[in-house]
Structure 1
Amino acid sequence: MNGMIDNGTAPLDFFRMLVEHVSDWIWQINEKWEFTYSNSIVEEILGYSTNEILGNSIFSFIKMEEIESLKATVLYAKENNKTLQNIDFTMIHRNGQEVFIETNAKPVLDEHNKTIGYRGINRDITLWKKNQERQQQLLDIIEASPDFIATADSFGNTTYLNPSARSFLGIPEGVEDLQLVNAQLWTNKFVGLKKSELSAEKSIWKGENILSNSLGKQIPVSQTIVNHKASNQNVHFLSTIARDISERKAYETIIKRQALYDTLTELPNRRYLYKTISKLIEDKDEVHTFALLFIDIDDFKQINDTLGHKYGDRALKLIASRMKGSVREHDFLCRIGGDEFILLVEGMNAKEELENYAKRLLSIFKHPLRLDNILQSITCSIGISIYPIHGKDVETLMQNADKIMYHMKKLGKNGYQITHTNEG
């Protein structure tokens, strides 16, 4: 029985039937490279029937540019009775499309042990080849990307870093063992996140993060971290792509500063003042107070009129610098326009404390300003309103302080006054 089931089919017929039902192309060629046998799967692979290829040279179906190279390979193997093993080449389908083939074949020997042909198996690897090409294209893109791209296994060991990521972390290109590179270096935002903060399907986190580079410098990045899950929903591997947003952050800082700071004196501006007062009012109650000091430089218009706006701007910068040096670090000083400044003061509930603070501000103008060779005397008038006595909103506090400041100017300038209680 020779290990075969006897079902009435002759061994030759049995193997022929078996060969006809496999998915690979089984063939035989003679010493002239002509097909002497082919199973019917050739029609699915190349579009030609078995009868159409029998008697034709294998090289009639090979891509023109590869014929010479393949002939040399096969001829060398034939002359040395060598097996053809895992050889790739391109054949042309009946419709003109390229079909990528991988072949394995053994020599057919005559009685003198000389190769007179080959018998082998061709496998259509077109889909695999295209997938490989796509993967290589993606890898080329990833390798060339300026972004930080990395992967890690389920244990948190880094398995891949693209050149940008290696450079960022200070890891030489030749280092292949990345397991010592803990993935927490780049997954610090992802680890420990609640499920509600992750995308349900793949556990994706997107947002801004801070990564430390090889010099220990903190770099702001826009990052995506993906938790790739296996079919059992366990972590299969992690991947990330992160982009350095230092320039964007710096630009945002500049824009924010321009929006909230006075460009001449570099003090906070009116918009910043309103935000700050609103926040103070939200945080305070009627027991905890703060004071608003409205400061106006006396007769400042004369500087612009007599010396010009260039000197006027320099004077404002010097005034702002003097005031910044005389107020407490946690108090809020701003310029709201022209020669008008506002100072917000917290923690001075006693009237005497507030008056002493106002006197200190007046005293900084005892010495004249030096504008090149010109000494310019400066004084100021200060109106003070207190939250919530003189107002419970921004506008009321500002109006009452402004009103009492102008009242001070009528009384002779270079002084201060606290808003009368009935002004609120």
Structure 2
Amino acid sequence: MQAVTLSFIAIAETQTVFYIVYSVLLLGLLLAFAVKHYISRRDRKLYLQREVSEAIIENAKTMVLIFSLEGKVLIFNKFAQEMTGYGRKDVVGRSIDEIPLLGADTELGRIIREAMTEKTIVHNKEISFTAKNGRKIYSLWNIDMINDTGNVPVYVAAMGIDITDRKNTESRLAESYQELESLYRELVTKEIELRLQFDDLNARDNDLRRSEERYRLAGGGVNDGVWDWDGKDGRLFMSKKARAILGIEAGEDFLTIEKWFDVILKEDLDKFVVSLNRYITEPQNRHLQVEYRIKTGSGDIKWIRTRGMAIWDEEGNPIRVAGSITDITEQKLADEKIHRLAFFDSLTGLPNRALLMDRFSVAEANARRKGKGIAVFFLDLDNFKTINDTMGHTYGDKLLLKVGEQLRLKLRKSDTIARLGGDEFIMLQTNISSMDEVYKLASRLLNIFKKPWKLDGREFYVTASIGISIYPNDGTDLKELMKNADAAMYRAKEKGKNNFQVFTPELNMKIMERMEIENHLRKASERKEFVLYYQPQIELATGRVRSVEALIRWSDPHMGWVMPEAFIHIAEETSLIGDIGEWVMTTACAQLRKWHDEGHDDLKISVNL
């Protein structure tokens, strides 16, 4: 019984194990089936999502390019193919270095490479590229990184839209605006064309009324103002820009011509009215153009240029006059500045050489017609270089400014004073009948320098030397007269400065001599033509030579021996004295050293500097 019981228990335990194993297997099969079903659904969903995504990318009206970080093209959608002209097989799977469209020398290629290497993001970058067929494409690009689940960049996505039509539209708009800016220049021509297109006056009037809107559109789109005067009823139309330029308040659509006259300066009003009347009363093909000034409400003066062209009827009566109004104030100021730079000295404001030549031409023609003379004064300040060297160039400039002002006060309005540069002034005394007039003016000019000059709290004296030549006796052109006046001025300096000298024919010889000396002097130091003589100074008590004085002499192969008084002052005036002085010091010191070496240790030498 016990054995049966144990056998039954063993069978029961075996069945229990079987059921447990069976249940586990069944549960595993059910779980496997569920997992498989889930995976199948997920894969199908992912497949559908990928298919949808690929379809969206492929059919998007956006150029889509996806690259690996190594530069290989992974996706190149249909729109990109259409825009660039490159097929998928030409691009996908290739390195960007193999694709001309994405070459390193293209702007698109550069920013894609930069995104790959620098991991940069690009937003709304306008880029133009050339398609395979040669067509130029304008596009707008955005470039971003595609990251994996760990937020690590793995791909580069570039998306571009075609903005060629927008660019072309902008270009056409810009061209349209330029056409609008030039429309006012064509208004007169258009009016003439309108007159030729119609058979009678009524038809022309209709077209003129229609053109009013064009005038107003043109007036609102250009920098110049537009005006339109009706010759039949006297009405004057001005665009807003024209009223703003002239300072006329906006009010009624039409004005009277008198309202225009009211803003013009009285000094220019007659010129404007005469020009306008002459133009409209004499039928002609040329344009009206007149420049005048107006005074603004703030008191400023503006320069205005008005242009226009008229249409006349068969009887010669003006039907209409239309044109433009331009503010040319800045242009006038610029012209004035250029004129001053071209004809006036920048420091003193006096005429320069160019304007002096012009003034002389006028004075010479007048003098020849009246049988009068012209005196040319060449004034040079004495020792001005010393003032510049000791007190500074700023101080020297202030002195020149003062001197110019005082000299100008001594002249008549018909006379001219000019500054040539440095401390040299030229004056033209016109319409002279006798030398007494010349002497009196020269004395008045020198009297200026008798009083001390006061600048920046300092008081000092400056003198001047003046040379004078007379037209036509001493020359008929300004260059010759200035040369002769310059020679007379140097004669005044030789006579002690602070005086005036009148050119004489005898000065020509001295001028030639001076020029010859100056020419030879420039080469004398190079040719070693200078010689030093040493004049001993003897101690009377002992009879010994205590010192020597170095005396320079010049042995010129053409002129022979030249004494210092004949060439030293020329060397000083031509700045050669520095080189000569250096040679004298070097030579004298070398000679003194030689004497010391020979045993004359106590010997001294003096050199006049």
Aligned twin of 2:366 = 283
- The answer on 1:178 being equivalent to 2:255 is yes
Residue 267 and residue 171 in structure 1: after superposition, are their counterparts in 2 closer, same or farther (change >3 A)? closer
SS for the counterpart of 1:192 is helix
Residue 284 and residue 194 in structure 1: after superposition, are their counterparts in 2 closer, same or farther (change >3 A)? farther
Aligned twin of 2:414 = 330
CA distance in 2 between counterparts of 1:263 and 1:211 reads 27
Q: 2:234 aligns with which of 157, 166, 185?
A: 157
Query: CA offsets per residue over residues 293-315 of structure 1, 9 Å max, x none?
Result: 11011111111122221221122
Shift of 1:223: 2.8
CA distance in 1 between counterparts of 2:474 and 2:316 reads 63
Q: 2:334 aligns with which of 251, 269, 274?
A: 251
Aligned twin of 2:379 = 295
Instruction: State which structure, 1 or 2, has the greater radius of gyration over its C-alpha atoms.
Output: 2
Residue 170 and residue 138 in structure 1: after superposition, are their counterparts in 2 closer, same or farther (change >3 A)? closer
SS for the counterpart of 1:405 is helix
Residue 241 and residue 311 in structure 1: after superposition, are their counterparts in 2 closer, same or farther (change >3 A)? same
Q: Is the 8 A contact 1:224 1:242 kept in 2?
A: yes
Aligned twin of 2:503 = 419
Residue 140 and residue 155 in structure 1: after superposition, are their counterparts in 2 closer, same or farther (change >3 A)? closer
CA distance in 2 between counterparts of 1:378 and 1:150 reads 62
Q: Is the 8 A contact 1:168 1:213 kept in 2?
A: no
The structure that is helix-richer by fraction is 2
Query: CA offsets per residue over residues 21-55 of structure 1, 9 Å max, x none?
Result: xxxxxxxxxxxxxxxxxxxxxxxxxxxxxxxxxxx
Shift of 1:265: 1.2
Aligned twin of 2:464 = 380
- The answer on 1:317 being equivalent to 2:394 is no
CA distance in 1 between counterparts of 2:507 and 2:235 reads 68
User: Which amino acid letter does the alignment assign opposite residue 279 of structure 1?
Assistant: V
User: Normalising by structure 2, what TM-score?
Assistant: 0.43
Q: Is the 8 A contact 1:158 1:179 kept in 2?
A: yes
- The answer on 1:240 being equivalent to 2:326 is no
Aligned twin of 2:277 = 191
CA distance in 2 between counterparts of 1:204 and 1:319 reads 49
CA distance in 1 between counterparts of 2:397 and 2:314 reads 70
CA distance in 1 between counterparts of 2:339 and 2:426 reads 20
CA distance in 2 between counterparts of 1:311 and 1:337 reads 16
Residue 276 and residue 159 in structure 1: after superposition, are their counterparts in 2 closer, same or farther (change >3 A)? closer
- What RMSD over aligned residues (CA atoms) do the two structures have, in Å? 3.2
User: Which amino acid letter does the alignment assign opposite residue 282 of structure 1?
Assistant: A
Residue 180 and residue 280 in structure 1: after superposition, are their counterparts in 2 closer, same or farther (change >3 A)? closer
Between 1:151-160 and 1:164-173, the stretch displaced more is 164-173
Shift of 1:359: 1.0
Shift of 1:328: 2.7
Query: CA offsets per residue over residues 112-150 of structure 1, 9 Å max, x none?
Result: xxxxxxxxxxxxxxxxxxxx9998576333135442321
Query: CA offsets per residue over residues 159-200 of structure 1, 9 Å max, x none?
Result: 31111333455544232452464677776523214999x753
SS for the counterpart of 1:328 is coil
Query: CA offsets per residue over residues 83-123 of structure 1, 9 Å max, x none?
Result: xxxxxxxxxxxxxxxxxxxxxxxxxxxxxxxxxxxxxxxxx
User: Which amino acid letter does the alignment assign opposite residue 209 of structure 1?
Assistant: E
CA distance in 2 between counterparts of 1:179 and 1:264 reads 49
User: Which amino acid letter does the alignment assign opposite residue 407 of structure 1?
Assistant: R
CA distance in 2 between counterparts of 1:157 and 1:327 reads 53
Q: 1:140 aligns with which of 209, 217, 222?
A: 217
Aligned twin of 2:449 = 365
Shift of 1:233: 6.2
CA distance in 2 between counterparts of 1:225 and 1:365 reads 58
Between 1:231-240 and 1:266-275, the stretch displaced more is 231-240
CA distance in 1 between counterparts of 2:427 and 2:336 reads 24
Would you say how many aligned residue pairs link Structure 1 and Structure 2? Answer: 290
Q: Is the 8 A contact 1:260 1:268 kept in 2?
A: yes
User: Which amino acid letter does the alignment assign opposite residue 308 of structure 1?
Assistant: G
CA distance in 1 between counterparts of 2:231 and 2:487 reads 68
SS for the counterpart of 2:473 is coil
Q: Identity over aligned residues, as a percent?
A: 30
Residue 155 and residue 231 in structure 1: after superposition, are their counterparts in 2 closer, same or farther (change >3 A)? closer
- The answer on 1:263 being equivalent to 2:346 is yes
User: Normalising by structure 1, what TM-score?
Assistant: 0.61
CA distance in 1 between counterparts of 2:352 and 2:291 reads 30
Q: Is the 8 A contact 2:452 2:459 kept in 1?
A: yes
Structure 2, gaps ≥5 residues long: 1-208, 263-271, 509-609
User: Which amino acid letter does the alignment assign opposite residue 277 of structure 2?
Assistant: V
Alignment of 1:56-205 (within 5 A): 139-155=216-232, 157-169=234-246, 171-179=248-256, 181=258, 188-193=274-279, 200=285, 203-205=286-288
Q: Is the 8 A contact 2:360 2:478 kept in 1?
A: yes
Residue 195 and residue 400 in structure 1: after superposition, are their counterparts in 2 closer, same or farther (change >3 A)? farther
CA distance in 1 between counterparts of 2:211 and 2:232 reads 29
Poorly superposed stretches of 4+, deviation over 6 Å: 132-135, 182-187
Structure 1, gaps ≥5 residues long: 1-131
Query: CA offsets per residue over residues 55-99 of structure 1, 9 Å max, x none?
Result: xxxxxxxxxxxxxxxxxxxxxxxxxxxxxxxxxxxxxxxxxxxxx
Between 1:399-408 and 1:373-382, the stretch displaced more is 373-382
Shift of 1:371: 3.3
Shift of 1:249: 0.8
